[in-house]
Amino acid sequence: MNKILIAGITLLPAVWLSSCNTEENSIDDYPLNYEITEVKATQNIPVGCILYNPYGDLNDAGKWERLEEEYDAAAGHIGPNMVPSAGVYRFMGTSKDEEDQNEYARQIGRIVGEMKTAGVDFLITPATRESAQLYPNNINPEDSLFLNIISGRNKDLEWHNDGSMKFAIQINMQNFANANGFDNSSTSIELRPDQTYTYEDEEGETHTVTMTQWERFMSYARNLAKYMNDDTYYRTADGRPVVYFREPEKFFVQEIENFYNDFRSAVQSVCGANPYIICSLKNWDIAPRYQYIVLNGKPDALAPRNMADLRASMDRFYLWDILQNENFKKNREWLGDNFPTIDFIPSVSNGYLEYVMNVNYRYPPMYPSVSELKKRCWIAKMNIGKQPMVIIDSFNDWGHGSFIETSDPNVGKGVGDEFLKVIKSEFKIN
């Protein structure tokens, strides 16, 4: 085993003890002195992959330059030196122009093709948003158009989903909470004022309805659940439609269990099945912190967000692989002991570069890499939960340097589709 020199204050107690102890201490006794080695899959592991809408980042000249530029630390250039083979692309919008919608569909078809190359079982949508102005059909119009394409409902476009790629809906919990003033612990959804809406039905008659924020969210849930009836929607082996809650820790509810129960009932009333709810866990957080704001709602699983985002922690930079494995292991074991009905789903992220988004040098750069991606897959396989599943975060978050999407092999360090091939080889046996 390679010896690892651990510098810093964490070793001071051990150094002091060794000076007072006649027995010689060995670095082999240090609990973090181990290596992450290859773990082979013994079965096909279901893989979900989070899709971002990167158009705003890719269409920003400064961010594109930081993606493309050659590494030059002296000049402050520390980007990945990679760009997407597809160039600046767009697959979401509200345009009703036929050619624009065909372009959205073509790009979604290309993305689906690349995910198939990676052996992805289901695409996790960009985080959907609620739009009260559209009540009672209160799904953001951009998200609604995307859902109609990825579900295969719109068969008049140049590409439509033939069912060979399933999808699962990601709900932006923080967006709803922020828009309605309860995304901090000083208030909650129950304390927000009722709202009144006026709308026309299909016959042109005008109606007025007053509802609580709670009721409004459940209306949103029922509208999303209409897509969960589609053959293209991803379900677990026992037939439960998968739903991914993004940033649930910022959605403050006093009666958390009642809220989750009402969400399940709202979905089940439309699609006839109890949803399998995956709640995202903020990167590097520990599950016990989520007990009152998430876990007491009894979701089905927790899944960490991008663990390559080290949150300005240099100790994580030097021991990222060991510490990530320890974080996964402790969260998985703690959930098993304290919330045995809530599973742990490991995630895989291929890098994180705050520099690309904000020219921020405080965050240690974690570069996309074939070798490091393999190691992250091994860590995930070491921590598979009771319901085998892995989530890739993400397919194309270029603004933060976290992607497996095909990179242009003719630009800088681009590797073509090598990242996609890694994912398939690590999680599929055939």
- List pLDDT tens digits, range 229-252: 999 999 999 999 999 999 999 999
pLDDT at 21: 54
311: left (phi over 0), alpha (psi -120 to 50) or beta: left
- Cα 105–Cα 107–Cα 110 angle in degrees, nearest 5: 110
Q: What is the DSSP string of 40-72?
A: --SSPPPEEEE----HHHHT-HHHHHHHHSPPB
Tell me the pLDDT tens digit for each residue of 359-376.
999 999 999 999 999 999
Look at residue 162 and tell me whether its pLDDT is greater than 50.
Answer: yes
> What confidence category does residue 6 fall into, taking pLDDT thresholds of 50, 70 and 90?
very low
Residues 57-72 have a mean pLDDT of 97
Residue 18's pLDDT band, with cuts at 50, 70 and 90, is very low
Q: What pLDDT score does 8 carry?
A: 39
Structural contact between residues 150 and 105, judged by C-beta atoms closer than 8 angstroms: no
What token pair was written down for 154?
């719109």
- Is the peptide bond between 394 and the residue preceding it cis, with omega within 30 degrees of 0? yes
The fraction of the chain above a pLDDT of 90, given in percent, is 86
The pLDDT of residue 27 is above 90: no
d(CA 77, CA 260): 46
Query: pLDDT-derived band of residue 29, with 50, 70 and 90 as boundaries?
Result: confident
Q: DSSP states of 88-123 as a string?
A: S---------HHHHHHHHHHHHHHHHHHHHTT-SEE
pLDDT of residue 28: 74
Task: Answer whether 327's CB lies under 8 Å from 284's CB.
Answer: yes
Task: Look at residue 2 in the predicted model and tell me its pLDDT.
Answer: 42
Determine the 3-state secondary structure of 213 from DSSP. Answer: helix
pLDDT at 23: 64
Q: Mean pLDDT of all residues in the chain?
A: 93
What domains lie within the chain, and their CATH numbers?
1-34 (no CATH), 38-427 (3.20.20.80)
Is the pLDDT higher at 134 or at 170? 170
pTM for this model (two decimals): 0.93
Query: Quick one: pLDDT at residue 9?
Result: 35
Q: What are 271-287's pLDDT values in tens digits?
A: 999 999 999 999 999 99
Return the pLDDT at 61. 97
Asked if the peptide bond before residue 288 counts as cis, ω within 30 degrees of 0, the response is: no
CA-wise closest residue to 322 among 41, 38, 39, 31: 31
